[in-house]
Structure formats: structure tokens, C-alpha cells
Amino acid sequence: MAEKINKYETIFIVDPTKTEEEITALVEKFKSLIEANGTIESVDDWGKRRLAYTINDLNEGYYVLINFASEPNFPAELERVYGITDGIIRSIVVRSEEA
């Protein structure tokens, strides 16, 4: 029996002290990881924004929102990779409501 495909959205915040090339490389890394395990529906690059509160002495972060569809076991792996990637200061993956 085939796995069920669910819709998810993830947002991650990259350390703004990274160079533009490093930020682009991190965004591409996660886009590739998601594409390898599901399908990307949209990518919104919000750019540099002020944080609601200071994180690691930073007041700004580089935000990226990705909507994607994948099997239910992939989001846990994505969160694990966020956690071990240098330069990611916050991230979250949530399941989207089916319309």
C-alpha cells in the first residue's frame, strides 16, 4: 500500500551574519532535500526581517517559507537536519490543512 502524501509548510530563519552566498547555499540545500523527498509547491523568500525577540544576540534573521507535499515520515528528518545545520537559528515544520 502506498504511503499517504500530506501537505506541509516549513519556515526557517538563517543567521543574517552569513554572506549572501552562504545564505543562498543553505536555501538551495533545503530546497534540494525537500525535492528529493517530496514535491515543492512554493518557495517564498522573505529576506532579512527583524526578529520578534533576540536570538543568540541577533535582532534580524533571513526568513524562507517553503510549502511542500511529502510522506508523513519526512518532516521529522527535515527538522533533524535543521537542528544540525550551522547557520539555522530557528525552524518549524507544520502540516497544512487539507482544502
Please check the confidence at residue 2 and state whether its pLDDT lies above 70.
Answer: no
Q: What is the mean pLDDT of residues 57-80?
A: 95
Using a cut of 0.95, tell me whether the model's pTM lies above it.
Answer: no
Q: Please, what is the end-to-end C-alpha distance for the chain in angstroms?
A: 24
Helix, strand, coil share of the chain (percent; to 5):
30, 50, 20
Per CATH, is 6-95 categorized as 3.30.70.60? yes
For the chain, the domains span 6-95
Strands 88-95 and 58-70: unpaired
Cα–Cα distances in angstroms (integers) from residue 75 to residues 17, 30, 33, 94, in the given order: 27, 12, 11, 8
Confidence of residue 97 (pLDDT cuts 50, 70, 90): confident
User: In this structure, what C-alpha cell is assigned to residue 18?
Assistant: 552569513
- When the pLDDT of each residue in the chain is averaged and rounded to a whole number, the result is 93
